């Protein structure tokens, strides 16, 4: 009987340790477990994403633009990440996406946490004339206010102006980045915070299950022995 009590005490201690580890890991993985309240506009302390044009070259009826899109500066927002980057030429008003976290239905299709995105854009078969290609970047972030979570979207853009001529090709002129004027891309708030998978939590749960199974086996063994 005394051996049984000792074994039960040791197993209970192991279970307590495993549960403690799991609790710590969950707290580390989600340092702000606040209820999600919905979407709000970015505050005045949060700047839109920045798009830096590194290089742009016109070659015949094509243009090549190297750029970097990065999250905006903020003193109040947390968990900022780029969720989409696209461009829109003036001769074709469609959005041409080069990076997307969500599809058109708001479902996650890329779980990477991106704070900076570099890309070499090559646009061909441009008609003659003076044109503008506008590059857009949209970010998603969160505010933690009074125990609640609020998500926001912010869009920044930068236009690239250039001229396509049959006999005289000019180098493009790059305008500085401007503040966003477009309606931000609306994503599914319920899925926007799903960013990855924590294998350490899974391992802890497996360990906890193994300990429980071991406890059951030991109790059955001791009962049969007695």
pLDDT value of residue 110: 66
Q: What is the mean pLDDT of each run of 10 residues along the chain (226 residues)?
A: 56 54 46 75 94 94 95 93 95 92 71 89 94 96 91 95 73 45 34 38 58 68 66
* Cα–Cα distance for residue pair 50/177, rounded to 1 Å: 7
pLDDT value of residue 203: 54
Q: Is 30 helix (H, G, I), strand (E, B) or coil?
A: coil
pLDDT value of residue 34: 73
The residues that bridge with 140 in the sheet, in sequence order, are 81, 153
């Amino acid at each position: 009987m005394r051996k049984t009590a000792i074994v039960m005490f040791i197993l209970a201690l192991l279970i307590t340790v495993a549960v403690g580890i799991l609790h710590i890991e969950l707290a580390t993985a989600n340092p702000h477990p606040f209820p999600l309240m919905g979407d709000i506009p970015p505050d005045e302390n949060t700047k839109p994403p920045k798009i830096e044009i590194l290089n742009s070259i016109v070659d015949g009826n094509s243009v090549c633009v190297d750029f970097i899109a990065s999250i905006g500066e903020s003193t109040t927002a947390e968990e900022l990440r780029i969720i989409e980057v696209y461009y829109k030429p003036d001769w074709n008003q469609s959005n041409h996406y080069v990076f997307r976290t969500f599809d058109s239905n708001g479902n996650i299709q890329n779980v990477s946490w991106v704070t900076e995105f570099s890309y070499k854009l090559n646009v061909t078969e441009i008609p003659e004339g003076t044109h503008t290609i506008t590059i857009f970047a949209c970010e998603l972030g969160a505010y933690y206010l009074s125990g609640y979570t609020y998500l926001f979207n912010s869009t920044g853009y930068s236009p690239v102006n250039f001229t396509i001529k049959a006999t005289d090709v000019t180098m493009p002129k790059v305008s500085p980045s401007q503040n966003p004027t477009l309606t931000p891309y609306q994503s599914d708030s319920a899925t926007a915070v799903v960013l990855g998978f924590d294998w350490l939590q899974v391992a802890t749960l497996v360990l906890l299950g193994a300990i429980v199974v071991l406890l059951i086996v030991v109790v059955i063994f001791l009962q049969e022995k007695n």
